[in-house]
Chain A
Amino acid sequence: MTDFSEELVRPTTEDEQGEPSVRSGSGMCFPWLQNHIESIASGGKQEKDFAQTTSACLSFIQEALLKHQWQRAAEYMHSFLQILEDTDSNKRQGAPEIIWRLGSEILYYHPKSSVETFNTFADRMKNIGITNYLKISLQHALYLLHHGLLEDANRILTQAETWRYGEKSSSQEVLVNLIQAYKGLLQYYSWSKKKMELSQLDKDDYAYNTASQNMLNHSWKTSVNLCTLIQIPGVWDPFVKSYVEMLEFYGDRDGAREVLNNYAYDEKFPSNPNAHVYLYNFLKREKAPREKLISVLKILYQIVPSHKLMLEFHRLLRKSDKQEHHKLGLEVLFGILDFAGCTKNITAWKYLAKYLKQTLMGSHLAWVQEEWNSRKSWWPSFHFSHFWAKRNWKDDKTLACEKALVAGLLLGKGCKYFRYVSKQDHQVLKKKMKQMKKSVKKYSIVNSGL
């Protein structure tokens, strides 16, 4: 074998027609060895054509789904179903889940499919084996919800709730809880519809009592269903929201507070900014003391510095007595404007302009320096470039003015942004501009020789 490569690669002198140079690797290919290697992976058995064609079929289905070719996917699915009869028990047991997932996608999107076809399919797939019943029921219910068939979804969920077969593993437990929670959510929906009706009824109306009694029943059922799920660590925003609303309606403020506190502060639960938002809004409604509100929002600030509640947070901090809160207030404002989504937020700029002036007047230069140090390398080109000056002036003159003031204070009157805006002539804003120039002259941190 050794001569082979040399023979081919050696340039030939006798040959006039080009230099053939077939690349020769040192690798050798043993077809029979390949077969043995492949059979090791499958435990000594050769891969049968059945296995090969079914896996090819599967990849065709996946390709068709990716390209949204529902017709083609249905054709291949028709053939793929034979995997339920595979003699290989591993493949056979894993098949129902694959078929459910792919089949439900096809039936969801295929133009010829209908709710009945989906229903029949789901009912059949649920009953193959026992491991998939709950999962498929839940997904079936969600599909029906999507199509607005609330009654049917409720029926499916009730059926699934009462399913008892064999041992329940921990994953099944969660599914049962989810099913109950969705049922609870459906009941909440009907409760809230009744609430709507009730609000239109007069208190003295004879129907009022029955209606409110009805509602109470519903709420009791809902609470039973929802509270188990909420105990489990997870992200349950819609459930928590509805549960709390109900509790508040019936005056159970303590219960609601407990649920929200648990949801936001229990370490087992994943970090969820919405939990803090719900808690904050609840406390606001309760008219809780400022300290409490600040402590709640502080955590939110740490998770999502660009949250829209941050401006409110800043206002709370500004009104507070504590020095450290005032410093934090400055931090928060700078934090908001770090994010590209907030660059045109005129309130934020207005606050920043005003607060910077206030802070510098109150001789807290160190605070401003601290905040500015980490930002002075990128804020100028991010916010205060010549391009932005022109753009902001064109779109929103008040925004431009606020930004110009900030720019002037932080970068001095020589900076591009300030120079551009101050050169602009505008009747209405003339007074404001004059004031701006004055403040910058007086308070700019550049002046203090930084």
Chain B
Amino acid sequence: MKMSVPRTLAFCYLSLLWQRETITLSDLLRFVEEEHIPYIHAFQHFPEEMKLYGRDKGIFAIECWPNYEVIFKKIIEVATFLDLPRFPDITENCYLHPNILCMKYLMEVNLPDEMHNLTCLVVKATGIGEVDFLRFDPIAKKAKTVKYDVQAVAVIVVALKLLFLLDDNLEWSLSNIAEKYNKKNKEDKPWFDFRKWYQVMKKAIDEKKQKWEEARAKFLWKGEKPLYYSAIDRPVVYKRREMVVSLQKQFSTLVDSAPNIEKKKPSSFQFNWTEEDSERPCFHSHSLQGVLQQKGQSLRTKNSLYWLSTQKFCKSHCKHVTTYEESNFSLSYQFILNLFSFLLRIKTSFLHEEVSLIEKRLFKAKYNKTNKKSSRSRKARKY
């Protein structure tokens, strides 16, 4: 196996994982995209004496940002190749544990803190919080690999489905109830209003996405030092670079020199919500009372229905587990998936797959009865 820049990145992640650092794979890849970690222009930082040409060009002239799925596969490849032993355990205190990651993502997406209880329940019910499950073990018979960040986000999606059903209907009726209550009782802790949250988040995510697209379109792939293949190419390549630089100078004089936007420091959070900001309401402290009801000693969700993202999993030899065709699903579900996929910079189908897998674990009983065409499952989420 020959080393390449993506594999090097995978190797870096392995070391971070070994140390159980507070950084997920999606964070790492995002830092690469935001140029906090040299990757595209890595070779620009090499010392002068190192001349890169020939096959080096194939390695260092990168024209793609690292993609989650690709890097994830490479992680397993590198770990297997290096014959790495079992990684250290990931316990409940560790950042990568689903409970903690769920908390982090709930905060980032401006959902109420109270939802954390529900996500912990789901984690417990599916057994994905167990040390044995979470540990990365490349040499095991069925290599145990967990996409910690994607999984945590999938748990949140499942929790949202449990609370709001996300069938383009119930969530809005519940919002109406919450709105009515909030209007009457302005002094109490406000009930979480899905509609309001949707409006706030949609606006925020659209803005972020637009800025992201614009920044990507402006990204300069070629660095100052051009890479060439052989001595014959060298003058051509250098001349081209010169030409581009001189043309760029012409156009940059036309652009108003913007006040130096300080390059943002790398941060794990892409969104920040605070109580004081009136323009960007914060839903962290809102209560889920509107969607829960008292039943004896415990609380149950008002919604007693659920729909599965995938009923049957693919058993043939194709590379996927399940498929995601957008038009089959409700708009709310699509919005939620798009929101989280953008956050993690992954494909929506990838996230959808993970959601289906979580549901599979959660509704193990239903999946075992392959022939029975039962009606919708009624699951009471007890608190």
Identify the A interface with B (CB < 8 A): 1, 3-8, 12, 14-15, 17-25, 27-32, 48-51, 53, 56-57, 60, 70-71, 74-79, 81-82, 84-85, 87, 99, 103, 106-107, 110, 112-113, 117, 120-121, 124, 128
Contact = CB atoms under 8 A, between A and B. Distances in A.
Nearest to A117: B250
A78 B252 contact: yes
A15 B173 CA distance: 14
Contact of B251 (A4, A20, A22, A81): A81
Contacts of A51: 63
B255 A49 contact: no
A3 B373 contact: yes
Contacts of B34: none
Contact of B323 (A12, A29, A74): A29
A87 B244 contact: no
A27 B246 CA distance: 51
A126 to B, nearest CB: 12
Nearest to A15: B305
Do most interface residues of chain A lie in helix, strand or loop, or is the interface mixed? helix
B163 interface: no
Given A32-B320, A57-B218, A124-B247, 16 more contacts: A3-B312, A3-B373, A7-B376, A8-B307, A14-B375, A17-B170, A25-B325, A53-B221, A56-B217, A76-B218, A78-B218, A84-B240, A84-B243, A106-B254, A107-B254, A112-B253
Contacts of B323: 28-31
Contacts of A71: 254-256
Nearest to A77: B251
Contacts of A121: 247, 250
**Most chain B beta carbons < 10 A, residue from A6, A30, A49, A85:** A49
B170 A20 contact: yes
B165 A20 contact: yes
A163 B326 CA distance: 58
A18 B169 contact: yes
Contacts of B252: 78
B320 A31 contact: yes
A124 to B, nearest CB: 6
A78 B244 CA distance: 9
A56 to B, nearest CB: 4
B127 interface: no
A51 B167 CA distance: 38
A117 B252 CA distance: 12
Nearest to A20: B167
Contacts of B93: none
Nearest to B347: A31
B219 interface: yes
Contact of A48 (B63, B213, B303): B63
Do most interface residues of chain B lie in helix, strand or loop, or is the interface mixed? loop
A128 B307 CA distance: 60
Contact of A76 (B168, B217, B320): B217
Given A1-B312, A29-B325, A78-B252, A49 B64 contact: yes
Interface in B260-312: 303, 305, 307-308, 310-312
B226 A85 contact: yes
10 contacts: A1-B312, A6-B373, A7-B311, A12-B375, A18-B173, A21-B167, A29-B323, A48-B63, A71-B254, A74-B251
Contacts of B330: 20, 22
A378 to B, nearest CB: 50
Contacts of B248: 78, 81
Contacts of A77: 251
B349 interface: yes
Contacts, number: 158
A117 B254 CA distance: 10
Interface of B: 61, 63-65, 165, 167-170, 173, 213-214, 216-222, 226, 237, 240-241, 243-244, 246-248, 250-256, 303, 305, 307-308, 310-312, 318-320, 323-330, 347, 349-350, 373, 375-376, 378
A41 to B, nearest CB: 17
Contacts of A49: 63-65
Contacts of A18: 167, 169-170, 173
Nearest to A79: B218
Contacts of B256: 71
**Most chain A beta carbons < 10 A, residue from B226, B246, B250:** B250
B316 to A, nearest CB: 11
B326 A79 contact: no
A81 B247 contact: yes
A5 B373 CA distance: 12
B170 A112 contact: no
Nearest to B302: A17
Contacts of B219: 53, 79
B248 to A, nearest CB: 5
B311 A3 contact: yes
A12 B377 CA distance: 11
A113 B254 contact: yes
A60 B244 contact: no
A85 B253 contact: no
A84 B63 CA distance: 15
A25 B328 CA distance: 6
Nearest to A22: B330
Contact of B376 (A12, A27, A31, A76): A12
Contacts of B350: 31
A17 B311 contact: no
B216 A82 contact: no
B243 A87 contact: no
5 nearest A-B pairs in the assembled complex, by CB-CB distance: A20-B167, A50-B63, A48-B63, A29-B325, A56-B217
Contacts of B251: 74-75, 77-78, 81, 103, 106
Contact of A112 (B165, B214, B254): B254
B246 to A, nearest CB: 7
Contacts of B217: 53, 56-57, 60, 76, 79
